[in-house]
Structure 1
């Protein structure tokens, strides 16, 4: 038994266990980051989702949340397998890492392919959404999303403030509104009756340009996080294989001894 104990605590095995533990800490942090980004996207930017006809953006946010949870659970399994030196659990841990790695590659390819589609749909539909759904019955989500978009990005209209001239709400308004109050630099009731540049935002390119920049920046962040996690997973899979092999050799040596 003493020989077996010494065999199981060789320098190589101990170093691998510490390295795998460090990996799991980093993996947990990465999983927590992905989870936080997903929750932040849903909680803080959900108003913009109503402006997109495509479900790709909202689906991406929920995929991030699911991935973050899976990463955290996978890290817990890895720690249990490492501390208890359970080779079967190490195999499960390796398979989970590999599956998440494949999912990240697939998600990355889909994100790249769908971005062009989302961007095209956004340019086509944002103006129509603003003109036909703003302040209309049953479209409270769109109205809130448009107001938040114009205030946060300091813009007015899809391409310019002139887009509002064909809005159903403007055409049927009894208050001689030129643009929504959310276009005003200092929002207040009925301030949209005056569309002078000193009163409203006249951003070149309108809100569409700012929204495109926002979506692209989100994709870049997700891409950077994905690449970082993928690198960690490759390292984790190599360490898992090495630890599995060391435990197998140690146990074999102990039995022979």
Structure 2
């Protein structure tokens, strides 16, 4: 390959690595957003032991920043036109590539397990809500906040509390058919009509289920870690191919 063609190829390698570095930094930021769990739904996935979406986010934090640093190193290696440096770059990038593949696959498969249907989320709610254990307290707090903020009740509907046996039903019996967080609130957050809510008056309680909201949040997390991660992988894969060609043309 002529000197001019090799220079053009070097420029292409540098540009691709600069773009991949920016994409890696963006993946790093997005993964931090998921790991921080701004919607505070980790207990719902954590109680089942299926918190792989968040584990994948921590992997993506590492791989995103590693992509950024390695791409900077790749730009330096390309400018130096050093076969040894380019080989080191290719090996490191390939290792990080494999880690990010694991992150993307883990997040996608875990999301399908959690939100394929509402049964798992419903089962956890019925088992742990109002339970005195540490997990029970976390689940209770999470569901109380979701029901109040999203204005929903139960996983599919308030009937979940009536149709299935639950820790809440065993604890409160006929006194409460469902948690008070299912009741509509006034502007001062006081229950609008306590008696009407307790007997199931539709105008005083939330009638929609919460599963749709939970599904949407976990899907956002998955899209952030898995599908954005996948797009970064495709960019890195193309960058690696071009870099390999450049490496083979070096003396």
TM-score normalised to structure 1 length: 0.75
1:155 matched residue in structure 2 = 152
Superposition deviation, residue 178 in structure 1: 4.5
Q: CA-to-partner distance for each residue in 1:165-221, whole Å, 9 max, x for gaps? A: 4554466459x5454344345362445831433333212xx2223323433344344
1:199 matched residue in structure 2 = 204
| 2:226 counterpart of 1:229 | no
Q: 1:77 to 1:192 in 2, by over 3 A?
A: farther
1:11 matched residue in structure 2 = 4
What SS is found at the alignment partner of 1:24?
A: helix
Superposition deviation, residue 150 in structure 1: 2.5
1:45-194 to structure 2, matched below 5 A, reads 45=38, 47-52=40-45, 53=48, 54-119=50-115, 123-137=118-132, 138=134, 139-165=136-162, 167-169=166-168, 172=171, 176-186=175-185, 188-191=189-192, 193=194, 194=197
1:253 matched residue in structure 2 = none
What SS is found at the alignment partner of 1:29?
A: helix
Q: 1:149 to 1:245 in 2, by over 3 A?
A: same
How many angstroms apart in 1 are the aligned matches of 2:220 and 2:78?
38
How many angstroms apart in 1 are the aligned matches of 2:204 and 2:7?
68
**8 Å contact from structure 1 (residues 47, 142) kept in 2:** no
The structure whose Rg is larger is: 1
> Which stretches in structure 2 are left out of the alignment for 5+ residues?
none
TM-score normalised to structure 2 length: 0.76
Q: 1:171 to 1:109 in 2, by over 3 A?
A: closer
**8 Å contact from structure 2 (residues 39, 217) kept in 1:** no
Q: 1:106 to 1:44 in 2, by over 3 A?
A: closer
**8 Å contact from structure 1 (residues 85, 247) kept in 2:** yes
Superposition deviation, residue 91 in structure 1: 0.9
Q: 1:90 to 1:146 in 2, by over 3 A?
A: same
Superposition deviation, residue 129 in structure 1: 2.8
**8 Å contact from structure 2 (residues 114, 121) kept in 1:** no
Provide the alpha-carbon RMSD of the alignment.
3.2
> Which stretches in structure 1 are left out of the alignment for 5+ residues?
1-7, 249-257
